[in-house]
Amino acid sequence: MCSTLLRMKKTLLFFLTLLCCLSLQAGDSLRYKIAQMLIVGFRGTELTDSNHIYGDVKNLRVGGVILFDYDAVSKTRGRNITSPAQLKRLCGDLQSLAGGKLIISIDQEGGMVSRLKASAGFPATVSAKQLGRLNSADSTRRYAAQTAQLLKELGFNFNFAPCVDVDVNPQCPVIGKVERSFSAKPEVVVRHARIWVEEHRRRGIITSLKHFPGHGSSRSDSHLGLTDVSATWTRRELIPYRQLLKSGHCDAIMVSHVFNKKLDSRYPATLSPKITGMIRNDLKFDGLVASDDMAMGAIADSYSFEAALEMAVNAGMDMLVLSNNGRSYDAQLAQKAVDAIYAAVKSGRIREERIREAYRRVAAVKSRL
């Protein structure tokens, strides 16, 4: 009798232990998938185990990182980038730490939006507007190839470019005024963006069209606060997306933080299921959709960190850009993001299927790296 009870207790203990292990694995799997949805920024020009990004990549297993030359919080240069040799070593160390397949991203458009500046030893670039003015396929191909080849040699595999905003308002402080748009003519934007994507693909670099559904008509900067394009936006700003998707020249789409009551009377684009619905249902794009930087004023001024993440994921963002390069710096940012999204899933505010869906698209992009 005693031996029978002992066997029963051991069996029960075994199944309880197994159930606990399966529960922990399920939790670990969910946290991993959430972490894979994050593209995180950090300070540092070399990888050391004392830097939070070491743990973010190795232990938390974030999906990607984004590198900058300028630290907006401290207003200093050299945040991650000081020279070609230093940058190549940093990218290599990050990728080795991740065991491969880490998204290492950058905003390298050319002209004023260049993280790789000539003053740090990188090749000089020209702006999208200059290329659009020339309207020469050969010139655009040469500069796009130069950029993509440089990124490949340095160790990048994801470029948040080209900018396909139509230059509706040449005085737009964040697009037209800094020459990020190829042209006021959508067909010119399409022509040059297509070449840009092709040259990056030839070298294994993923690109992202931006800033959906169009930032070129804005009169203010979404980095600084609410940017309402309701009175200025027109549907011709969607033409580049339609045409590039039709020709198969779209790897990913970045959604902006603009507010457009013509499309959603309540939420800015990044937090709007209606606007993501346009991408999925109207444009028929089932690929990766990423948010613009979640630290930008258009979001941070109106929503708490936790609320913004929850709303962005529910809106359909597959990856969230957490630059850590806005108004403050937080070494625990990635961990806080994973914890917040995990808690929202466990409480039922985010469906677990939404996480699986996002993870599937992240994994699909990574399979191409």
- Residue 324 — left, alpha, or beta (φ > 0 → left; ψ -120 to 50 → alpha)? left
At residue 208, φ and ψ (nearest 5 deg) are -135, 120
Nearest to 253 by CA among 290, 278, 216, 222: 290
DSSP state letter for 163: B
What does the pLDDT read at residue 224? Answer: 66
Q: How confident is the model at residue 2 (pLDDT cuts 50, 70, 90)?
A: very low
What does the pLDDT read at residue 236? Answer: 97
**Could you read off the pLDDT of 70-104 as tens digits, one per residue?**
999 999 999 999 999 999 999 999 999 999 999 99
Contact of 320 with 294, CB cutoff 8 Å:
yes
The length of the chain, given as a count of residues: 369
CA 4, 5, 9, 12 torsion-angle sign: positive
Nearest to 262 by CA among 242, 284, 239, 236: 236
The residue type at 44: G
The more confident residue out of 369 and 116 is 116
What is the maximum span of the chain, computed from C-alpha positions, in angstroms? 92
What does the pLDDT read at residue 226? Answer: 79
Taking each helix axis as running N to C, give the angle between helix 305-315 and helix 352-366, from 0 to 180 degrees, rounded to the nearest 10.
Answer: 70
**Could you read off the pLDDT of 298-347 as tens digits, one per residue?**
899 999 999 999 999 999 999 999 999 999 999 999 999 999 999 999 99
Distance between CA atoms of 191 and 141, rounded to whole angstroms?
11
Q: How confident is the model at residue 28 (pLDDT cuts 50, 70, 90)?
A: confident
Class of domain 39-366: alpha beta
Nearest to 105 by CA among 188, 198, 210: 210
Average of per-residue pLDDT values in the chain: 93
Percent of the chain with pLDDT over 70: 92
Nearest to 272 by CA among 228, 227, 312: 312
Q: What is the pTM of this model?
A: 0.91
Q: How confident is the model at residue 22 (pLDDT cuts 50, 70, 90)?
A: very low
What does the pLDDT read at residue 7? Answer: 52
> CA 101, 106, 109 angle in degrees (round to 5)?
135
16: Cβ–Cβ under 8 A, 6 or more apart, which residues? none
> CA 92, 85, 254 angle in degrees (round to 5)?
60
